Structure 1
């Protein structure tokens, strides 16, 4: 008999919870294809208990978490799930090959190869439905999909290609990705409502379990490698939102595991939405930490427009070379390198391929954002090169001019785009600019993201920014990168 209590989703968003006789889900949850549960606790009477810290400095080290699984997981469920195929992957009308069959680049040039139809069953549809229901939940529309995970795309035009890549990755390795998608959907659903003040720490146990899965995964073929790339970047993103203590460790571990299969995966065009992102993200971290990235990017399609990095994909090889030269200078304690001048000239000559904008039906707003993003990443690259050449308080005028170029592009976007426009995936260049122009990052952050709360990674940068300017005002005249190494920990955010 259906419960008369409002479900957790409707209760959280203050919506009326309506149910139809004979259905285990309310009408709203069935339409959105999300879990319909009533697992929340009622507030106990009396004075609230005192809050407890979640760990040192109120952080959780998810790598070391001892909570081995969510409360809802039963003993042995992990081994049972790993040995069985999901109902989605068992559909003979959708897949005609084993999930473990390698990609086979000679045959795989489109998502319809290997018996996979162009219209794939949706991961959200399966994970959102009750497996005891006879009737499947309705397939989420692209609009609903974008509304749920819009923070992972520059604009809605990228929805179909990103959704397709995620579906394919899941269909080929459900034993690796099923739990990941469940955790991500729950997290994004719980944090997408307005006025969210804190991330959902209830998902920590699920994330910790997935981290153990990532550590224990052995890659047998390119399908597993693809799934590990998706798992690694998803876990890194969750860690960035919640605690930001091991995001880059997670991402680099997944890249290391998948590295032998990357040349093969990079040739498959429709997988770009999940293969470009982790490489570019790690590369940004290596730029500020002066390290060498794990994987050298292979650009087989120079006209790619990425869901996160837009028109900047063709800049990847240049930035990789910049990481190598910077690391070489760091190890050998060289103040400057002739190679650095060559790379600087390459960045100066680089410009995004505007013809790429014809590859997809982008809106005017998306085109404006894509062009602005390319411009600020170019300026940020030149700013980094300048700071590799000169310490702080030396040639500051040139550094400030690059920073001003970045800020002016941001101002133009906010001026012409309207109050709801967000310069997503411009965080890295803008944060670099704030190390040359003493503005408060807290006020700038709201113009960069659609998140309804301030994630842990932003709080970390705020702390570093405060430390950085205190040192500069105290007369520090050394290298920017010395302060990055010695100051409060923060990570590169795309």
Structure 2
């Protein structure tokens, strides 16, 4: 009889965990026919994660995880942003429908008008009621184009949580509080609020993906952590996403073939792709729509744009390197992509009108046209430096703003259009005077002031160069300007 570290089930139920003759299954688990695992995270050693405030007026926060122990992960491609040395590993697994929760995070109330209490504990993921649906949308609406998407989105989150409660409990708790706090504007996030994100960052680095369920949990962890970073410190959500997508790449085909997982698979690819358009990188994964038309809570009707955007990313990356294409060949390929964008129209499923509200339909159509124009603008600026072709570039930018204002005028006062920060930002690089009301009407920017400030700093840099009559390419200026993050 050998004493070992208690398994997850015995630890959960405070039972005596006994292994017989060096067996792999303890006596209590063998008795009830449960899988015996020891995958929970060990208590963190050393000092708690710290947050550093930098910049004028302590306007920038950086959080990190440090430890004196050695990582158990075999990963070799962790981005440089992702912390210092890390401790311990955590592999996703099914926990026999036992739901782990970290209630301390979820019972935090946020003062003010936003008093919905979705996820007081994670068991609420397994229940549904009008109050829960309303609370979910009120909390996470900045990631959705309308409340009709809530049931499918919650179902996908629930499935990911079943795959690995231990992996996801901290980041789901942190994201819940971050969304609440962002709405009341109560100042910088403190160390205790950033700590769950730091712990989740450690899990992201050390988790080994060994199968489809692991990949789903990892995908949920990575994109939620990226969104948490975006709302709090805005240090490296794009790097987090790219690391996550690289980790689950072997399972993407299987994940992408199941419509149940669409709410979790499409969004990160969309975010990575539009970021790559500006940074002249190649997206980690190439999105290919299945037969039929995918209408996504974040991407709307733009899913069929993603393959075109991917091809555009490849061309502009190779033109940047000047190693794969001659200028004439790259020019020809860009022209082909422009024609594909000009002929593209958003396609909807047959039950589109009966499924979604009028407001949701108008929002998705406006979003689709704005992204189409943004793609055309980037293609145009890839071939035409500043000072040439400005009229057409301004026309594309004006089309983006027109679609946005048309949606605003057709809705009730105060209605925001979600997930259009990227095309608005592209338009702002061509149009100097963007009304303040436009920026304020984009929830993902209004709730992330640090990210918005970084975008504005890059915009100021570009316009300073333009006022100096530069004739350089727009994307060269983006590369050289201040660090920024663009949310779709």
Task: Give TM-score, length-normalised by structure 1.
Answer: 0.74
- What does residue range 105-116 of structure 1 map to in structure 2 within 5 Å? none
Q: Which residue of 2 aligns with 1:239?
A: 229
Q: Which residue of 1 aligns with 2:119?
A: 124
CA deviation profile, 1:392-433 (whole Å, cap 9, x unmatched): 110100000111111111111111112121111111111101
Number of aligned positions between the proteins: 396
Q: Which residue of 2 aligns with 1:35?
A: none
Q: Which residue of 2 aligns with 1:157?
A: 148
- Which of 137, 140, 154 in structure 2 is aligned with 1:146? 137
Cα distance in 2, alignment partners of residues 204 and 329 from structure 1: 40
CA deviation profile, 1:93-144 (whole Å, cap 9, x unmatched): xxxxxxxxxxxxxxxxxxxxxxxxxxxxx99364378xxxxxx999952111
Cα distance in 1, alignment partners of residues 281 and 90 from structure 2: 41
- What does residue range 188-203 of structure 1 map to in structure 2 within 5 Å? 188-193=179-184, 195-199=185-189, 202-203=192-193
Cα distance in 2, alignment partners of residues 384 and 325 from structure 1: 12
Greater relative contact order, per chain length (Cα 8 Å cut-off, separation 6+)? 1
SS in 2 for 1:54: strand
- Residues 392, 218 of structure 1: CA spacing in aligned structure 2 closer, same or farther, 3 A cutoff? same
Cα distance in 1, alignment partners of residues 393 and 292 from structure 2: 30
Q: Which residue of 1 aligns with 2:419?
A: 425
- Residues 284, 201 of structure 1: CA spacing in aligned structure 2 closer, same or farther, 3 A cutoff? farther
- What does residue range 401-412 of structure 1 map to in structure 2 within 5 Å? 401-412=395-406
Task: Give TM-score, length-normalised by structure 2.
Answer: 0.75
Q: 1:237 Cα deviation (Å)?
A: 0.8
Cα distance in 1, alignment partners of residues 91 and 317 from structure 2: 44
- Which of 272, 291, 298 in structure 1 is aligned with 2:262? 272
SS in 2 for 1:337: helix
Q: Are 2:322 and 1:328 aligned?
A: no
- Which of 151, 165, 179 in structure 2 is aligned with 1:174? 165
Q: Which residue of 2 aligns with 1:217?
A: 207
What stretches of structure 1 of length at least 5 have no aligned partner?
1-51, 69-76, 91-121, 130-135
Q: 1:66 Cα deviation (Å)?
A: 3.7
Q: Which residue of 2 aligns with 1:485?
A: 479
Q: Are 2:53 and 1:54 aligned?
A: yes
CA deviation profile, 1:7-35 (whole Å, cap 9, x unmatched): xxxxxxxxxxxxxxxxxxxxxxxxxxxxx
- Which of 271, 276, 279 in structure 2 is aligned with 1:289? 279
Q: Which residue of 2 aligns with 1:12?
A: none
Is the 1:67–1:205 contact (alpha carbons within 8 Å) kept by the matching residues of 2?
no
- Residues 411, 80 of structure 1: CA spacing in aligned structure 2 closer, same or farther, 3 A cutoff? closer
Cα distance in 1, alignment partners of residues 439 and 192 from structure 2: 25
Q: 1:346 Cα deviation (Å)?
A: 0.9
Cα distance in 2, alignment partners of residues 150 and 313 from structure 1: 20
Cα distance in 2, alignment partners of residues 156 and 137 from structure 1: 14
Q: Which residue of 2 aligns with 1:13?
A: none
Alignment root-mean-square deviation, CA: 3.0
Cα distance in 1, alignment partners of residues 211 and 293 from structure 2: 28
Q: 1:65 Cα deviation (Å)?
A: 3.8
Q: Are 2:180 and 1:185 aligned?
A: no
Cα distance in 1, alignment partners of residues 224 and 203 from structure 2: 13
Cα distance in 2, alignment partners of residues 346 and 216 from structure 1: 42
Q: Are 2:331 and 1:314 aligned?
A: no
